Amino acid sequence: MGDSPVPAAIKHLGQNFLIDHNIVRKIITLAELFPNDNVLEIGPGQGILTDALCRSAGRVTAIEIDPRLHAYLTERQTQFQNLTLVLGDAMTYPIEDLPSGTIVVANLPYYLSTPILFRLLEQQHRITRLVLMLQNEVADRLVAKSGGSAYGVLSVMAQYSADITKAFKVSPQCFRPRPDVDSAVVLLRTKVRIEQTRKNRDQFASTVRAAFAHRRKTLVNSLRDQGYDQKHVVAALTALHLSLSIRAEHLSLEDFIALTHQIHGPPHSPDLRQLDQLS
Ligand code: SAM
C-alpha cells in the first residue's frame, strides 16, 4: 500500500466511487470469473472493484483517465502481479486488441455509459460477457421490449449483440459521493452471430437509427425522411406482413433484422477463416 491520500472526486469524470463491499461481491459473483480469465475494467477509480477482480481473474487490464487515480493505483499495484494499469481514455483504447474471450467488468462513469457500450458491443466477438453498473434508467432502456417508451436505438442495438439481464438495482447510498440517480447492474452475454460482418452490422445500425430518427412519425415516413426510397420501404413492410402505419417502437428485434434484410438484401456471409478479423 502507498501513502498518498485518496484523490478527491471529480464530478465531470463521473467519479462516484463504490463503497459497498456487498455490491462488489455481487458483481464478482455475476461475472463468474475463473483464474485464467482476462478481464477489462473501465475506470478503476480508487480500486475497490479492481482488487476483487485481481483476486478472482487471471489478468486484469484497467484503464483510468484520471492521472491522479492512475498514480494512486500504481503505488498500490505491487500487491497484484496480474494487474496492468493503463492511463488513458476508454473511448480511444484499442479494444480490438483485446484477447478473445475477454470479460468486461465496470462501474461506468455515467456520462460515458452509452457511447462506451456501443464501442464495446462492436467488439462482441472478442468479449464473452459484460457486467456493468449503469444508471438505472439506462439499464431499463437496455432490456426494454418493443411497445414502451424506453425502447429505442440503444435497446435494439444492444439486444442485437447480447442477451441482457438486469441483475439488481443499487441505491445512491452505496457510492461516495452519492449520485443523484439510482444505478443498476446488468449482465450482457454477447451473441455469436455468424453473419455479423462489419457491413451487415452497419446496415442494421443505419436502418434502426433511421427508423427511430422521427419517433412520432410512421416507420415509412421516418425512413423516407432519412433518405430511404419510400417504395422500397413499403414493399419491404408488405413482404413482412407489417402495417404501413406501424411506428419504429412497435418493431421487435426480429422485425428489424428482417426489415434490414428486405431493404439491404440478405446478409453477406463472411469467410469463416477470417472471423477473427471481423470488427
Ligand atoms: N471502479 C471505481 C468504483 O467502482 O468505485 C470507479 C467508478 S467511477 C463511477 C468511474 C471511473 O471512470 C472514475 O475513476 C473515472 O475517473 C473513470 N473514467 C471517467 N471517464 C473515463 C474514460 N473516458 N476512460 C477511462 N476511465 C474513465
Burial of 26 (0-12, 13-18, 19+ CB in 10 A): middle
pLDDT for residue 276 is more than 70: no
Higher-pLDDT residue of 77, 158? 158
More confident residue, 227 or 279: 227
* Ligand 1 pocket residue status of 112, Cβ below 6 Å: yes
- Domains of the chain (ranges plus CATH)? 11-190 (3.40.50.150), 198-277 (1.10.8.100)
Residue nearest to atom 19 of ligand 1 (CA): 13
Q: What average pLDDT does the segment 248-270 reach?
A: 89
Could you tell me which residues come within 8 angstroms of residue 136 by beta carbon, excluding any fewer than 6 positions away? 169, 181, 182, 183, 184
On the question of pLDDT at 254 being above 50, the answer is yes
Single pTM value for the model: 0.93
Determine if ligand 1 sits within 6 Å of the CB of residue 39: no
Q: Does residue 65 line the site of ligand 1, with CB under 6 A?
A: yes
Q: Ligand 1 pocket test: pick from 6, 66, 113 the residue with the most ligand atoms within 8 Å of its Cβ.
A: 66
Ligand 1 proximity of 42 Cβ (cutoff 6 Å): yes
Residue of the nearest CA to atom 17 in ligand 1? Answer: 43
Residue type, 278: L
Instruction: List the beta bridge partners of residue 165.
Output: 187
The CB of 9 under 6 Å from ligand 1? The reply is: no
Q: Is the pLDDT of residue 272 over 50?
A: no
Task: Give mean pLDDT, residues 179-205.
Answer: 88
CA distance 5 to 92: 29
Cα distance between residue 15 and residue 36, in whole Å: 30
Integer Cα distance of 161 and 193 in angstroms: 8
Burial of 250: CB neighbours in 10 Å, binned 0-12, 13-18, 19+? middle
Closest CA to 274 of 213, 196, 216, 187: 196
Which pLDDT value is given to residue 40?
98
**Cell numbers for 190:** 454477447
Q: Is the pLDDT of residue 279 over 50?
A: no
Q: Point out which residues pair with 237 in neighbouring strands.
A: none
111-157 residue pLDDT tens: 999 999 999 998 888 999 999 999 999 999 999 999 999 999 999 99
Nearest CA to ligand 1 atom 12: 43
pLDDT at residue 221 greater than cutoff 70: yes
Residue nearest to atom 5 of ligand 1 (CA): 17
Q: Is the CB of 267 under 6 A from ligand 1?
A: no
Confidence of residue 29 (pLDDT cuts 50, 70, 90): very high
Choose the weakest-confidence range: 1-10, 18-27, 65-74, 214-223: 1-10
CB atoms within 10 A of CB 218: 17
Cell numbers for 64, please give them. 483510468
Supply the pLDDT for residue 270.
56
Q: Name the closest-CA residue to atom 22, ligand 1.
A: 89
**Closest atom of ligand 1 to CA, residue 106:** 1
pLDDT at residue 1, as a whole number:
46
Pairwise pLDDT comparison (275 vs 167), residue with the higher score: 167
Does 61 contact ligand 1 (Cβ within 6 A)? no
Reduce the DSSP state of residue 18 to 3 states and report it. Answer: strand
**Summary mean pLDDT of the chain:** 93
Give the span between the Cα atoms of 90 and 120, in whole angstroms.
10
**Are the CB atoms for 216 and 206 separated by under 8 Å?**
no
- Give the up-direction half-sphere exposure of residue 226: CA atoms within 13 A in the CB hemisphere: 18
